Structure 1
Amino acid sequence: MNALSIAIVVFSSLLVVLTILPCFKSRVWWVRIWDFPRSQLATLLGIALLMQLTWLPPLQPGANAFPYWPLWLGITTFASLLYQLWWIMPYTPLWRKEVRWADAHEHGPRLKLMSANVLTPNRNTQALIALVQQHRPDILVTLETDAWWQQQLQPLEADYPFRMACPLDNLYGMHVYSRLPLSEMQTQFLVEDDVPSMHASLTLVKDLQVRVHFLHPAPPSPTENAESTERDIELLMLAKSLEKEEGPAIVAGDLNDVAWSPTTRLFRKLSGLLDPRVGRSLVNTFHAEHWFARWPLDHFFHSDHFELVHIARLPSIGSDHFPVMVELQYHPHNAAQQEGLQATPEDKQEAKETLQEHGAQASDVPEPTAQEQKNV
C-alpha cells in the first residue's frame, strides 16, 4: 500500500469514527460536539468516497490477506454518508414542509420576531439598530447583551415600550424588546445560577395571548460545560412544561444546539412545537466568520396555531452569529394540517428519567397565559 492509499484510508476511517461517535448517549462535550457539523462531515465523506474510487487499487483476490478491504472501506464510507444525510435532509426543500406557508388571502394577525446573539465584546451596535429599523420586528430578543449593550440600544426603547432586561457580563445577558404588550414577565435561572431565561404572555391582538419563552443555555465545550447536561435539562424542563399546552406558544433563542440533534428533536417531540425550517433550509446562523463551519444554532419553534410568512438569516452585525428573523401568521385550525415529530413512550420515559436523575422539575418553568382568539 502506497502513501496515498494510506492517507485515504486514515482520512476515511477518521470520518467514519466521527460519524459513529455521537451515536453514544454520552453527554461529554467531545462526543456531543459531533452532532453539530453533520453537513460538513457529509461533504468530507463524499470527497473521501470519490478519492477511494479514483486512487485506491482495484480488488485483487489472492494478492494479500485482505483483498476486499477497498470494498469494505467504500461500503462503510457510503453508509456513513447516508447516515449524515439522514439527519440534515429534513432541512432541505426535498423534505415535506412541517409548517405551511401562510395564505396571502387570509388576514390573521401576524407576528415578526428577530433574534440576535450580539457577542458581548462586539461594538457594532449601529448595525443591529439599522436592521431593527429596516425590518421593524414586533419582538427583538438580544443575547449576550451586557449593561453597555443595554445603554447603546436605548434608541430602540421609544418604539419598544415593553421590555425585559437581564444585563450580564458573562456572555449570557438577555434582553427582550416588544412593540406588543407583554404580561406575566419572569426572568428565571432554571438550571445554572448565571444563565437566565425569559418567559412572558404576549398579547398579539385582543383576546389572543401567546405564551413566549426565550432561552440561551450554555453549550457543551471545554471552555463552558464539560457535558451537555445543563443544556439538555433546560430544554427538557421547558418541553415538559409545554407538553399539555393547548394555546399558542413560541420558543426562540440560541439553544447552543443544532436543529437535528437528538436533544432538540426530543424537545420538539415532547413540546409538540413545529420547526418552520423543515422542508425549507438550514438557516445556518453560526459561525458568521467561517463559511465552511456553519450550522443552525438560533431557533424559532411554535405551536400549530401559526403558519409561516417568512424566515431569513440577516446580514452580519459583527458577531459570531448572524441575526435571524421569522414572521408568523396566526391560523388556529391547523391541527390536522401541520404535524411535527411525535413522542413515543420511550421518549417520554427517557425525559422523565433524565429530569429525575438531576432533580429537575418542569413545574419550575413559568407558564404564562396562552389564549386562543375567540370567534375565529
Structure 2
Amino acid sequence: MSRTRLLSRIALWIGGPALLGLLLPLQRAWMPGQGSIGWALDLFAHWQPLYGAVWLIACMLGALRDRRWLLGLPLLALPWLTASPAAPRLEALPDLVVAVANVNIRQHDPDALLEWLQQKPANLVVLTELSPDYAAALAERRYGGFAHHALHPLASPPGLGVLSDRPLHNVRVLPDGLGALRIEADLDIDGRAVHLVAAHPKPPMATRKYRARDGLLRELASAAKTRPTIVAGDLNATPWSSALLGSDLRSLRRVSGWAPTYPSEARGWFGIGIDHVLVSSGFAGTHAERGPDIGSDHLPVRVGLRWQGE
C-alpha cells in the first residue's frame, strides 16, 4: 500500500468520528433528553476543540490524495457556531467583576486565591467545593477584605460560598434532592436589584444527575426572564452541553469563554470549560479571562459585567 493511500485511510478512520463529534452539539440542542444515554452523549459533546483539531488533521491527510477533502475545512467553524449563546461584549468599564473558583475539597489554604484576587480584584467571588477548613482559613484572613460573605462549607464537594463587597440580602441555601446545593441571594448594583445564584450541580455521570443539572439550568433560565440575574459556579457543563443549549435557555447567556478550566494541569489546555458566569438579558460582558493555578484541579475564571438594559 502506498504511503499516500495509507494516509488517506487514516483520514477516513479519524475523520468520521471527529465529524460525528462536531455535529453532536446540534443533536444536544434539538434532542437533549435521549433517555438513559443522554448523559453519555453529553459527555462526548464536551470535546469540540479536540474534534476540530482531529478534523483538521483528517482534511490535511485526505487532501494528499483527494483535494476534495479541503471542502470540509469550513466545518472547523462548527465549535464557534454551535456553542451556547454568549452575552454581548462592550468596550467599557465594568459595573461588576465576578470571579468563580472551584477551590477543591482537599485544598485548605486560600493564600493563592487571595493573592490572585489582590492582583485581579473582583466585586463578587463564587467558591465551589468549599470545605470547613478552607472557610476557617478565609475567616482568619478576614475573607480577603470582602465585607460581606455567605458561606456554606461542607466536608464534601457540594460546599459553596460567596464573597462580596456589596451587601447580600435574602440569602438562601437550596438543595436539589441529590445532595447538590445552590446559594441564592439578592444584591444591589448601582441601585438595581440583581438576583445571584451560586451553583454547583452534580457531575452528570448518570441519568438522574444529568436530568437534575439540566433541570436546574432550565429553572434558572425561566426565572431570569423576569429579573436581572447572574448565575455563577462550576456548572459541570461545557458551552456545547444540553444544559446550556436550547431555545428555553436563551434568557441566560455566557460571559465566560469556552477555554478549558478543568483539569488545571498544563494550564487546562487538555481539559474542558465547565466553570461559568451566565447573565440575563440586559447585561453585557466587558472581558473574560482564566486565572492562574490556585492549588485546585480547576482554574478560576474572572469576568466583567456592565448593565446596558433598561
Corresponding residue for residue 21 of structure 2: 18
Secondary structure of the 1:48 match is helix
Corresponding residue for residue 282 of structure 1: 258
**How far is the alpha carbon of 1:313 from its aligned partner?**
1.2
Contact between 1:242 and 1:271, CA under 8 Å: does it hold in 2?
no
C-alpha spacing 1:271/1:12, structure 2 compared with 1 (3 Å):
closer
Contact between 1:16 and 1:77, CA under 8 Å: does it hold in 2?
no
Q: TM-score, normalised by structure 2?
A: 0.83
Secondary structure of the 1:46 match is helix
More strand by share: 2
Asked if 1:310 corresponds to 2:287, the answer is yes
Secondary structure of the 1:228 match is helix
**How far is the alpha carbon of 1:19 from its aligned partner?**
3.8
Number of residue equivalences: 298
Q: TM-score, normalised by structure 1?
A: 0.69
Corresponding residue for residue 236 of structure 1: 218
**How far is the alpha carbon of 1:162 from its aligned partner?**
2.3
User: In 2, Cα distance between the equivalents of 1:121 and 1:158?
Assistant: 20
Per mean C-alpha deviation after superposition, the further-off stretch among 306-315 and 142-151 is: 306-315
User: In 1, Cα distance between the equivalents of 2:229 and 2:302?
Assistant: 17
C-alpha spacing 1:77/1:10, structure 2 compared with 1 (3 Å):
farther
Amino acid at match of 1:42: G
User: In 1, Cα distance between the equivalents of 2:22 and 2:223?
Assistant: 33
2:196 paired residue among 169, 194, 212: 212
User: In 1, Cα distance between the equivalents of 2:159 and 2:39?
Assistant: 23
Asked if 1:147 corresponds to 2:132, the answer is yes
User: In 1, Cα distance between the equivalents of 2:24 and 2:278?
Assistant: 28
Unaligned runs of 5+ in 1: 59-69, 92-96, 334-376
1:185 paired residue among 171, 195, 209: 171
Deviations 1:104-123 (A, max 9, x none): 6xxxx822221101121234
Deviations 1:215-260 (A, max 9, x none): 1111223xx66762121111111112223x1x42211111111124
Contact between 1:46 and 1:81, CA under 8 Å: does it hold in 2?
yes
Secondary structure of the 1:185 match is strand
Aligned 1:47-86 pairs, distance under 5 A: 47-54=57-64, 56=65, 74=69, 81=76, 83-86=78-81
C-alpha spacing 1:77/1:145, structure 2 compared with 1 (3 Å):
same
Contact between 1:19 and 1:34, CA under 8 Å: does it hold in 2?
no
Corresponding residue for residue 99 of structure 1: 89
Corresponding residue for residue 323 of structure 1: 300
**How far is the alpha carbon of 1:164 from its aligned partner?**
1.6
C-alpha spacing 1:318/1:174, structure 2 compared with 1 (3 Å):
same
1:110 paired residue among 56, 74, 95: 95
C-alpha spacing 1:212/1:13, structure 2 compared with 1 (3 Å):
same
Deviations 1:278-330 (A, max 9, x none): xxx53432232144423321111223433433322111112221111122233
**How far is the alpha carbon of 1:185 from its aligned partner?**
0.6
Corresponding residue for residue 165 of structure 1: 151
C-alpha spacing 1:83/1:324, structure 2 compared with 1 (3 Å):
closer
Secondary structure of the 2:239 match is coil
Amino acid at match of 2:55: L
Secondary structure of the 1:100 match is coil
User: In 2, Cα distance between the equivalents of 1:175 and 1:233?
Assistant: 22
Amino acid at match of 1:14: P
Corresponding residue for residue 245 of structure 2: 265
Asked if 1:87 corresponds to 2:71, the answer is no
User: In 1, Cα distance between the equivalents of 2:144 and 2:295?
Assistant: 25
Give the CA RMSD over aligned residues.
3.0
Q: Which has the larger radius of gyration?
A: 1
